[in-house]
Structure 1
Amino acid sequence: MSELLSRAEALDAADELGALRDRFVLDEVVYLDGNSLGALPAHVPDRVADVVRRQWGELRIRSWDESGWWTAPERIGDRIAPLVGAAPGQIVVGDSTSVNVFKALVAAVRMAREAGGAPAGGPREEILVDATTFPTDGYIAASAARMTGCTLRPVAPGDVPAALSGRTAAVLLNHVDYRTGRLHDLPYLTAAVHAAGAYAVWDLCHSAGALPVGLDEHGVGLAVGCTYKYLNGGPGSPAFLYVRRDLQDRFDSPLPGWNSHAEPFGMRPEYEPARGALRGRVGTPDILSLLALEASLEVWDGVPIEAVRAKSLTLTDFFLECVAAYVPAGRVESVTPAAHGQRGSQVALRCADAGTVMKRLIERGVVGDFRHPDVLRFGFTPLYVGFGDAERAARVLAAVLGEV
């Protein structure tokens, strides 16, 4: 038995989160793709069956009141709130991440113009977007810019403070880079954007459920995130939208719908927005996905996000140590920062023939994913990934690389 394997067994035996693995449906596969789709919590199928058979099948329309369907978006938002450092009443769940990015970004421009007037630097007519962002965020930002009459400027996150001016209305940033796993400095960048009189919109898709975010603590105004990665909500589960409490009365959504109306059943032709985070709602909630997500979030009961972060850093450190020990020098290069303060909960390795390598890893029971052109991504979800998984993944990676 290798020294690293022995250490993995000792670390797993001492892991305070290790018992959480039993809350999920897992097999002998090493599943390191929870940064794309989280594993299934074991109790969710029965809960979804109840929603379908009893709530929909028997109660039917009565379930909007008797089963709490109507309040699900904000109720589930309050379940997510502690995981991203938010007080209740500031998160609503529904729609996709893309739709919520559009709502938040257009609303940010409108609020900046309402508050900022025309400063010495000119009118608020520019949106900055993370130049390394997931493509959809860039597409949405471009559309929001056209709609609001803004110019769009891609900027590397580290260059944002220098790029800000009196013309800047909004800045769209990713908390964790989806390719490299780099964690950006949310407190510093948020403060810089706000000092310029603009609004930061944070995409938390790769940090929610993986590390403390501190939305309230750091004064974030607007944030969005998905729920099917580290929150394990299921494929295509609805996203969330955070609007800081003191901004809610000014939040002017570009997608007003009957569900966000102050009197949704009044059926009035004039739109009057609801108070609070409910302004983020649009149309009829996607109940089946919402309630599957609500059930999934129960795996977080009693789990502090700080403990998850501590295990994540130890796991990724150990995986990188195993890779360094098992993989011949020069075969892979980590593009994930070594510094804990700059790392999310994934490790990205650059290597030749990455697509072929990942295909063979999956065939041998180690599931990560490939990002064009040459990146292997391994996501570490501390709720169900152990140190033995990390050691085995590195060992199989070395074997595969010895064959290609």
Structure 2
Amino acid sequence: MAGRSVARGGRRRRGARSRPARVVADARHHRRVEDRHEGRDRPRTLPAVAAETTRAAAEALDRADPLARERDRFVVADDDLIYLDGNSLGRLPVRAAAAVERMVHDGWGRDLIGGWVRWLTYPEEVGDRLGAAFLGAAPGQVVVGDSTTVNLYKLASAALDARPDRRALVVPAGEFPTDRYVLEGLAAPRGLDVRLVPAGADVVDALDADVAVLCLSMVDYRSGAVVDVAAITAAARHVGATVVWDLSHAVGAVPIELDRWGVELATGCSYKFLNGGPGAPAWLYVRSDVQHLRSPIWGWFGQREQFAMGPAYDPEPGIRRWLAGTPTVIALAAVDAAVADLAEIGIEALRAKGTALTTYAIDLADARLAGHGVTVATPRLPHRRGAHVALAHPAARELSRRLIDEHGVVPDFREPDLLRLGLAPAYTRFTDVWDGIDALAVLLAGGAAAP
């Protein structure tokens, strides 16, 4: 397309332009949970207008959306950009931008070293607020810091050390790469076996009395499939194994009840649906009754009587022992503000909107893309999926590039054939979904836009 033209329905369609290459994860496509229910059997959460496939119907859904005004909480620098990648990086909350500015100018610029009077306990304070709003965790069990990879290493290593008699770890073969790499890195020097569970197999079947640790995501990073955390945790406990849960694609998108589900160890990032910003510190959860486990990374922020500068490491008795080095205070301010912002909306409202968006996306894909060889790789039952929809097509990589360059639509690509649409409920509109799928239909058909 040369230049810019106005698409039907009022959205301005973008001309071709140069954009950075997409970073692609090196992982095989699989569907962890295959949904066999026909579309007509699944529960509906949208008004009848959702059955229509026109842009006017999408506009009507936006007008009826109780969360429509929540988009104003975010910096939207280009309203023409159709951003469908909130499952990779969330938008910038206005409140987070202001919090970072205050931390830089007042906390750092004015208070200097005196700011540490408040910042020393900041990781636990933000952790408690995150735990209460989005993790179903009582105070004193969540701390914010480090990356998801580092936290997975801490938790899995501690769980392994607690069961030196066991010789196996379990992880799905299609689990997010860093999770597999961490477990393989822990197993190699210990001479342990890593059991890779093939796609479509039940991870519970891989558990036995020789398994120390199972690492698993609540929401599959490719298909968006949701697993039963409570049931899998109970099955692992039955054979004496510990599950380290990765909640990166779940937190802020689906309700989580760690205490009620009996989870012992969990971690996740804060830059996806929590909107904490690029490179934002991750978080980890350690249930209060297993906080005696020892982190493999010892640092002065986990030390009892930190400023006594003692000769030997003596860890704090609580969640603080899972800290290591100095926290990233400015980044913590962004996460704190982002979590507070989302908490005002509430996870139940976010989940309802996310379910409506994904249902709408699947309906549109069925109506407008199926005839072009696109298949929905996401479970069709709403309770079985998170807040992103995966569409499979052999030319997904090229389609992703062209959506960005030619249409100003930002999806996400995953090998070998998946387009992911991350439908962050706090700021994604139904018209965004329509515009994205319309652009994809236009590319596939090589023709004009639908009415």
TM tier, shorter chain?
A: over 0.9
Distance 2:343 2:335 in 1: 14
- Give the C-alpha shift of residue 358 in structure 1: 0.8
Distance 1:130 1:265 in 2: 43
- Give the C-alpha shift of residue 3 in structure 1: 5.1
- Give the C-alpha shift of residue 320 in structure 1: 1.3
User: After superposition, where does 1:328-367 map in structure 2 within 5 Å?
Assistant: 329-363=371-405, 364-367=407-410
Distance 2:340 2:80 in 1: 24
Match of 2:177 in 1: 135
* Mapped pair 1:10 → 2:53: no
Distance 1:303 1:399 in 2: 35
* Mapped pair 1:304 → 2:355: no
Moved more, 3-12 or 351-360: 3-12
- 1:293 counterpart (331, 335, 342): 335
CA contact (8 A) 1:112 1:199 kept: no
Match of 1:52 in 2: 104
| Amino acid in the other structure paired with 1:56 | W
Match of 1:79 in 2: 129
- Give the C-alpha shift of residue 147 in structure 1: 4.4
* Mapped pair 1:164 → 2:203: no
- For the residue of structure 2 that corresponds to 1:43, the secondary structure is helix
- 2:249 counterpart (195, 206, 225): 206
Distance 1:334 1:98, change over 3 A: same
Match of 1:36 in 2: 88
CA contact (8 A) 2:243 2:265 kept: yes
User: After superposition, where does 1:211-226 map in structure 2 within 5 Å?
Assistant: 211-226=254-269
| Amino acid in the other structure paired with 2:428 | V
CA contact (8 A) 1:106 1:148 kept: no
Cα deviation, 1:223-257, whole Å, max 9, x if unaligned, reads: 00000000000000000000011111x22100011
- For the residue of structure 2 that corresponds to 1:152, the secondary structure is strand
Aligned length: 392
* Mapped pair 1:388 → 2:443: no
Distance 2:396 2:195 in 1: 31
Cα deviation, 1:108-148, whole Å, max 9, x if unaligned, reads: 112334xxxxxxxxx31111112211111111111122344
Cα deviation, 1:282-327, whole Å, max 9, x if unaligned, reads: 0111112111211222212322212211111111111111122222
Cα deviation, 1:151-190, whole Å, max 9, x if unaligned, reads: 2111248522221111111110011111111112211111
- For the residue of structure 2 that corresponds to 1:329, the secondary structure is helix
- 2:316 counterpart (241, 263, 274): 274
CA contact (8 A) 1:173 1:202 kept: yes
Match of 1:144 in 2: 186
- Give the C-alpha shift of residue 340 in structure 1: 1.9
Distance 1:98 1:265, change over 3 A: same
| Amino acid in the other structure paired with 1:53 | H
| Amino acid in the other structure paired with 1:111 | A
CA contact (8 A) 1:222 1:241 kept: yes
Distance 2:53 2:266 in 1: 43
| Amino acid in the other structure paired with 1:44 | A
CA contact (8 A) 1:251 1:279 kept: no
| Amino acid in the other structure paired with 1:106 | S
TM-score for the superposition, normalised by structure 2: 0.84
CA contact (8 A) 2:53 2:367 kept: no
Match of 1:188 in 2: 231
Distance 1:44 1:258 in 2: 28
- 2:72 counterpart (16, 19, 22): 22
- Structure 1: runs of 5 or more not aligned: 114-122
CA contact (8 A) 1:109 1:148 kept: no
* Mapped pair 1:111 → 2:154: no
* Mapped pair 1:326 → 2:356: no
RMSD across aligned C-alpha pairs, in angstroms?
A: 1.6
CA contact (8 A) 1:91 1:242 kept: yes
CA contact (8 A) 2:280 2:331 kept: yes
Distance 1:79 1:148, change over 3 A: farther
Bigger RCO of structures 1 and 2 (CA < 8 A, at least 6 apart): 2
Identity rate, percent: 44
Distance 1:148 1:73 in 2: 32
Distance 1:158 1:6 in 2: 42
| Amino acid in the other structure paired with 2:57 | R
Distance 1:104 1:221 in 2: 10
Distance 2:424 2:345 in 1: 13
| Amino acid in the other structure paired with 2:230 | P
- For the residue of structure 1 that corresponds to 2:109, the secondary structure is helix
CA contact (8 A) 1:223 1:242 kept: yes
Distance 1:358 1:303 in 2: 31
- Give the C-alpha shift of residue 58 in structure 1: 1.9
Match of 1:283 in 2: 325
Q: Which 4+ stretches in 1 moved above 3 angstroms?
A: 1-4
CA contact (8 A) 1:256 1:271 kept: yes
| Amino acid in the other structure paired with 2:98 | D
- Structure 2: runs of 5 or more not aligned: 1-8, 10-51
| Amino acid in the other structure paired with 1:212 | P
Distance 1:178 1:149 in 2: 29
| Amino acid in the other structure paired with 2:163 | A
Distance 2:183 2:439 in 1: 40
CA contact (8 A) 2:53 2:364 kept: no
* Mapped pair 1:375 → 2:418: yes
Moved more, 165-174 or 149-158: 149-158
Match of 1:403 in 2: 446
Cα deviation, 1:68-113, whole Å, max 9, x if unaligned, reads: 2111111111121120211121100000000000000011112334
